[in-house]
Structure 1
Amino acid sequence: MSRSEEESTSNLMKKKGLGWIEWLRGWFNVIYEMLFQRIMASHLENPMPLPPLPQDFTCIITGSTSGIGREIARQLAEAGAHVVMAVRNTKAAHELILKWQHDWSGKGLPLNIEVMELNLLSLDSVARFAEAWNARSGPLHVLINNAGIFSIGEPQKISKDGFEEHMQVNHLAPALLSVLLLPSLIRGSPSRIVNVNSIMHQVGFVDTEDMNVVTGKRKYTSLVGYSGSKLAQVMFSSVLHKRLPAEAGISVVCVSPGIVQTNVARDLPKIVQTGYRLIPYFIFSPEEGSRSALFAATDPQIPEYCEMLKSDEWPVGAFISQECRPTNPSEEAHNLETSSRVWEKTLEMIGLPSDTVEKLVEGQDVKCKYGSDDSHQD
């Protein structure tokens, strides 16, 4: 058999979607979490008690003007950290800061919070943000990729960069931000990248030859777009963590916040929104949903846990459940071949060379096709 025939046969054998057993198992996990998450997390305090953080402990948080991100930003700031709200709506962020400062008045030092503009629907905006931050030459201790979209029932939307919007906001933009900020994260070592993921990755599938779901091989729905983008983030995070040498001192963690009542609910069908209001016992508040990300950002044992998972025998990176305990992501997330292809395809889509991580760790310049014309990282 010729090489081209072998490749053709291999392509035919590639999975076109989740098997029905994986699909059923995934939905079982989703439903189980919704029904029992409050019981499983009953040992957690709310709000999550945080250790005092030094004022130079710097955290960048995307999507921090609403929902989980807002709670993460407020609580880290109240714990003493220097919080950077990386958001599209800077006016809303400044208004929040004024309110938080007023509420905090008299309890301690003024909150150390600043705002920087970042639009995840523009990879140019992401690259410019990273370039501006790295130019400060200061350390970054925690990057929390929290912003995401789940446009339930909406028709497929393609960003100006040419990517399906769920895939761009939930995976591609956070991936670009994480990689480009590696120089600052290395300066802040030991540091962490915390990706706020979702239990819905359990029913996700990624076709690396059709990341935008436009070829017709699979019918596009918002659920397909969302769950696939969250799975892609888990896969990319696993490979990123394995490619980062121990001496870089960067831990990469994905977390599930649980089933949370956030602004996503406004995009749900009316009947589902009614269900959300009828079963508040099962649904976490944003404050409760923020606990796993806060735990991943501050718990002293996270670096040790992440380093343990670097072993060759373990195919995936760190994943923290909504009850703030290590857990396994989906079976599909353990697919090493697909994860490797997701890594390669993602770097291609976000305009970075395949050896980007290695070069940045060594302190070399890397060209990115997004951002300013001479965009590079030191």
Structure 2
Amino acid sequence: MATKRKQKKKEGLGWIEWLRGWMYLIYEMLFQRISASHLHNPLPLPPGLNDLTCIVTGSTSGIGRETARQLAEAGAHVIMAVRNTKAAHQLILDWQNQWSLSGGGLALPLNIEVMELDLLSLDSVARFAQAWNARLGPLHVLINNAGIFSIGEPQKFSKDGYEEHMQVNHLAPALLSVLLLPSLIRGSPSRIINVNSVMHYVGFVDTEDMNVVSGKRKFTSLVGYSSSKLAQVMFSSVLHKRLPAESGICVLCASPGIVQTNVARDLPKIVQAAYHLVPYFMFNAQEGSRSALFAATDPQVPEYCELLKADEWPVCAYLSQDCRPTNPSEEAHNLETSFQVWEKTLEMVGLPSDAVERLLEGEEVLCRYGAHRE
């Protein structure tokens, strides 16, 4: 019996892991403002960002909007990669007017542009990457910020056939990160920043059931969201290992903390009430953007990533909401599952298993989606 038990495949978090995850979440909720009290708001960014080119996904609302605006005001060239291009153009007009009125207009206008990207379509992701790579210019920072948490809603699938949380929060950013490697190599030293979530601490990934349709686990939006965020950490950790130090590309995950953004509109009434009762504990979008901005601009980040690589640490760099390194969940350290997530993800997004190695060698890699769709 003992032998059989050892061989049995893990089908979820153990109750101790589950309880530890929830304790961490509650602690984060109650004490995040105290632990981040040393940070200024907005976060002061280092000088010399004028030469930086940054792509920020989902930058028309919430954390992404703050991230894009602050990078642009610090002088960076920002590409808003968004589904709603009209809203993005309107934001740029508003920001430019505010910038001029505040006295910043004495300098050059904000250097922002808009490109269409719909993470619910892997075709759109592949086309975006192809259009950007075709410029043959450098990319210094990719911030995979866009995400969804459809709280309380029934299970939905993209037109590509994947559960929406898994596609938007993990599969599409993973595809984008790999396909943009040629531009990130040109921009080296460069960074891939994945805006993650403390919710990954209660996540579990079954690589044989990424869509949560087998019936082994009951689907809830919490299951969909937390597992997609854990998958993102696991994939990032393997990508971190696959990129040699000489490539000059860092891979990081950053938790914004527990932030009061548009997601609150989808919450059940009782949870919305709790949201309104504890505004002191919640971060606003500007506070929530600090960890991603720090990950994207702090000069010590590459050194930290290299240190982890040299020590063969099992997970990628993970920054907490207080802009300090922290440890992802116990399950995120499961290397066997991480490599399974890596292989399954590449298969699902239509890339060959050796895509990263070939792109690093300067070879062309065909994706099942986008212009090269078969």
If the length of structure 2 is used for normalisation, what is the TM-score?
Answer: 0.96
Do residues 34 (structure 1) and 26 (structure 2) align?
no
Contact 1:55 1:112 in 2 (8 A): no
> CA 1:11–1:172 in 2, change beyond 3 Å: closer, same or farther?
farther
Residue deviations 1:5-26, cap 9 Å, x none?
A: x9xx799611000000000000
Contact 2:50 2:74 in 1 (8 A): no
* Separation in 1, partners of 2:89, 2:10: 47
Q: Offset at 1:54?
A: 3.7
Alignment-derived partner of residue 149 in structure 2: 150
More off after superposition, 333-342 vs 275-284: 275-284
Equivalences for residues 1-378 of structure 1 within 5 A = 13-105=8-100, 106-107=103-104, 108-311=107-310, 313-373=312-372
Residue deviations 1:124-154, cap 9 Å, x none?
A: 0000000000000000000000000000110
Contact 1:34 1:282 in 2 (8 A): yes
Residue deviations 1:13-50, cap 9 Å, x none?
A: 11000000000000000000000000000000000000
Contact 1:121 1:173 in 2 (8 A): yes
* Separation in 2, partners of 1:342, 1:51: 36
**Aligned letter for 2:366?**
K
* Separation in 2, partners of 1:170, 1:11: 32
> CA 1:11–1:92 in 2, change beyond 3 Å: closer, same or farther?
farther
* Separation in 2, partners of 1:92, 1:56: 26
**Aligned letter for 1:142?**
V
**Aligned letter for 1:164?**
E
* Separation in 1, partners of 2:8, 2:299: 44
Q: Offset at 1:294?
A: 0.3
- Percent identical pairs in the alignment equals 81
Contact 1:306 1:318 in 2 (8 A): yes
**SS at the partner of 2:309?**
coil
Contact 1:139 1:187 in 2 (8 A): yes
Contact 1:128 1:372 in 2 (8 A): yes
Q: Offset at 1:312?
A: 5.6
**Aligned letter for 1:23?**
W
Runs of 4+ in 1 over 6 A off after TM superposition: none
**Aligned letter for 1:58?**
T
Q: Offset at 1:313?
A: 4.1
Residue deviations 1:232-261, cap 9 Å, x none?
A: 000000000100011110000000000000
Q: Offset at 1:167?
A: 0.1
* Separation in 1, partners of 2:313, 2:365: 30
**Aligned letter for 2:329?**
S
* Separation in 1, partners of 2:177, 2:110: 25
* Separation in 1, partners of 2:21, 2:338: 18
**SS at the partner of 2:321?**
coil
**SS at the partner of 1:316?**
coil
* Separation in 1, partners of 2:329, 2:228: 14
Residue deviations 1:213-243, cap 9 Å, x none?
A: 0000111000000000000000000000100
Contact 1:194 1:293 in 2 (8 A): yes
> CA 1:12–1:155 in 2, change beyond 3 Å: closer, same or farther?
farther
- Number of positions where the alignment pairs a residue of Structure 1 with one of Structure 2: 368
**Aligned letter for 2:36?**
A
More off after superposition, 187-196 vs 12-21: 12-21
* Separation in 1, partners of 2:48, 2:14: 46
More off after superposition, 111-120 vs 49-58: 49-58
* Separation in 2, partners of 1:360, 1:11: 39
If the length of structure 1 is used for normalisation, what is the TM-score?
Answer: 0.95
Contact 1:59 1:143 in 2 (8 A): yes
Residue deviations 1:56-76, cap 9 Å, x none?
A: 310000000000000000000
> CA 1:349–1:11 in 2, change beyond 3 Å: closer, same or farther?
farther
Q: Offset at 1:349?
A: 0.2
More off after superposition, 333-342 vs 103-112: 103-112
**Aligned letter for 1:183?**
P
Alignment-derived partner of residue 3 in structure 1: none
* Separation in 2, partners of 1:212, 1:12: 24
* Separation in 1, partners of 2:330, 2:235: 15
